[in-house]
Each structure stands twice: as structure tokens, then as C-alpha cells.
Amino acid sequence: MLDDFMTRATLAGIGVAFAAAPLGGFVVWRRMAYFGDATAHAAILGVALSLALQISIFAGAMALALTMALTVSVLSGRGYAMDTLLGVLAHSALAFGLVAVSFLSGIRIDLMAYLFGDILAVSRLDLAVIWGGAAVVVALIGWRWSALLTATLNEELAYASGIDPKREQLVLTLALAITVAVAIKVVGVLLIAAMLIIPAAAARPLARTPEGMVLIAAVIGAASAVIGLRAAYIFDTPAGPSIVCTAALCFAATSLFRVVRATSAGHSD
């Protein structure tokens, strides 16, 4: 069954959706969209270094993504506006990564595949890495779920409960680095943040609890992967962007649902 490239691509998309769903909730709640972008953009430099040093691309991308995330955490609150800091680091990392790739003489690299993903080229090994990474992310977030929620809602309450918000931030940082590393083959560095944010944002109007939002985000992300791949096959469009477009349509639908529900509630009053 896994010999079929469309089957492998579908399973890869679902794996990324499952990794991104629990993390995406915290990205939305903490307003960390730029943080996800900066971490993802650093991965292209990790790809270049991996190819130059002939090591695993997954390991290189994760190492650089983790380094970027830790750098942002260390520099935040030290005289720099967070959006400015993230903007500088995100675009600088992407630019240095692209320049580094240009120096890789004798190594053939499909740059577009790393920027926008190449889900149709996912191998069995890639599939194992994606699902292994997704399992680690889900286990990590599940293990720290209560502490992460408390630290997200109120830092003072977290300290009073014996929870260190900085430690929980490090847990999110590690989970984000793993997600970026497993998603780079599927949607590419430029679209990873979209798969983190859009399904979670689409799930928000439908959910009554944080746990419900994560589960709905996982369903929306997985459905976006399946439908987006099918649309890409039918209309001969790029697979990664097609998945993100499908997720965006889900966001538009749930946003419309929220508006209609709010309007109906207003009329009933």
C-alpha cells in the first residue's frame, strides 16, 4: 500500500496535521505567529548546513530551528520590540540560508521543494520520520498540557502553582522545532507557519474547550491535507500550497459560521 506515492503523501500530510494541531493551539493563544515564522525560516539554513556537512536534513533543520527559537526566547524582553526582533531574525535566517545554498557546489538541490514542500516525493523513511516526530510532539504537549495551559492563561497563577513559565516556553520551543523539521518536506519552510496557525484558528469558533479546539484543529488539518492533495492531483496545482488553501477555506467557513451565530444570538435577544 505504501508503494503508492499518493498514499504516502496523504499519510505524510495527516502526520504533519497531527503534529501541528496541539502546538497550533498554543501558537494562536500566545500570539506566537511570528515566532513560528522565524523558527521555520531558520530551517532553510539548517538544510544548507546539513547538505554541506552530509548529515541528516531532519537533524540539521531541527537544530537550526531550535537554535532560532532559543535565540528569540533569550533576546525577548531585552530592549527589542518582539515583532521587530522576530522580523529581523526571520528574514535574516531565510536570506542567509538561501545564500548558503548557493555556495553548495556539486550538490544538486531543488530549492523550491524546501521552500514550498514536495509532499509527492515523500519516501517511506520520510514517513517514519514525520510520524515519529508527530508522536514525540503529541506526547510532549500531552505530558505538559496542564502546566502549559496555566502558563499561557496567567503567568502569576503559574508561579503560584509552582510552575515555571520559562520552562514551559522551552517545551513549546522544542515541540515547534520538531514540527518544523518534520513539516519541511511536506509544505516547505514558507508554509509551515500557515499549517500551525490556520487549522487552529479555524477550530476556535467551533470549540468550547482547549482540548476540543486541539482535536478539531487536528481534524481540519488532516482534512485539508487529504482534500488539498486531491485538488492538486485534479487541477495540477502545487500540493503544499493547495493544502494551505484548503485550510484557509476551512477558516473562512468557520469564521462565517461564527458571524452567523453571533447575528442569530443578537436577534434572539
Integer Cα distance of 111 and 184 in angstroms: 12
- Would you say residue 134 lies in a domain? yes
Residue 166's pLDDT is what? 85
Q: Which three cell numbers stand for residue 173?
A: 520551543
In a domain, 36, yes or no: yes
Distance CA 172, CA 177 (A): 9
How many residues appear in the chain?
269
Measure the CA–CA gap between 50 and 109, rounded to whole angstroms.
Answer: 12
Alpha-carbon separation of residue 269 from 42, 257, 260, 261 (angstroms) = 50, 18, 14, 12
pTM for this model (two decimals): 0.90
Label residue 223 by pLDDT band (50, 70, 90).
very high
Q: Is the dihedral of CA 153, 155, 157, 163 positive or negative?
A: positive
Closest CA to 141 of 173, 184, 181, 165: 173
Domain count, the chain: 1
Domain that holds residue 123: 5-190
Contact 163, 147 (CB under 8 A): yes
Q: Is residue 57 part of a domain?
A: yes
In a domain, 159, yes or no: yes
The verdict on residue 143 lying in a domain is yes
Closest listed residue to residue 172, CA positions, set 132, 145, 201, 135: 145
| Residue 3 pLDDT class (50, 70, 90 cuts) | low
241 lies in some domain:
no
Distance, in Å, from the CA atom of 84 to the CA atom of 227, rounded to the nearest integer, reads 36
> Which one-letter DSSP state was computed for residue 120?
G
Give a yes or no: residue 90 inside a domain. Answer: yes
More confident site: 193 or 249: 249
- pLDDT average, residue stretch 179-184: 90
Helices (H), 76-144: 82-102, 111-116, 124-143
Q: What is the DSSP string of 157-216?
A: HHHHTT--HHHHHHHHHHHHHHHHHHHTTTT-TTTHHHHHHHHHHHHGGG-SSHHHHHHH
Residue-wise pLDDT for 40-75, tens only, equals 888 888 888 888 888 888 888 888 888 887 887 777
The verdict on residue 215 lying in a domain is no
- Give the number of other Cβ atoms within 10 Å of residue 9's Cβ: 24
Decide which of 269 and 56 is more confident.
Answer: 56
Taking CA atoms, 25 is separated from 77, 212, 230, in Å, by: 23, 10, 26
CATH number (domain holding residue 80): 1.10.3470.10
Q: What pLDDT sits at residue 269?
A: 58
